[in-house]
Amino acid sequence: MEYTLKLHRDIEKQLSRISRKQKERLVEVMRSLRFEPRPHDCQYLQDDLYRIRVGEYRIIYAVFDDEIVVVVCKVARRSKKTYKDLEKLLDEALRNLLK
């Protein structure tokens, strides 16, 4: 089963700050989430939110199994701020789901 992949509106902006080589790797991992939304190396955060590591970057995303949708919420370098406001990210993912 293939999931629909949706991106938060800020993802393009976040990716534009990353080197081309690293960006290609991140995009490849995001695309793979359509076929395997919970790969063995993903980390459960809370509710429907998960995190996957790609080098020094983190992709935070939500999986909605009933709707068969994966919403990428954030792409950022690992830091304390990366995991701040998870509730807000989940709310934004839900809003993005309804679009």
From the list 61, 63, 99, the residue with the least C-alpha distance to 82 is 61
Per-residue pLDDT at 90: 79
Note whether 71 and 93 are within 8 A (CB): yes
- Whether the pLDDT of residue 99 is over 70: the answer is no
How many alpha carbons fall within 13 Å on the CB side of residue 65?
5
pTM of the model: 0.87
User: CB within 8 A of 94, min separation 6: which ones?
Assistant: 62
Parent domain of 68: 4-98
CATH number for the domain harbouring residue 70: 3.30.2310.20
pLDDT (tens digit, 9 = 90+) per residue, 15-73?
999 999 999 999 999 999 999 999 999 999 988 999 999 999 999 999 999 999 999 98
Domain count, the chain: 1
From the list 74, 25, 31, 20, the residue with the least C-alpha distance to 54 is 25
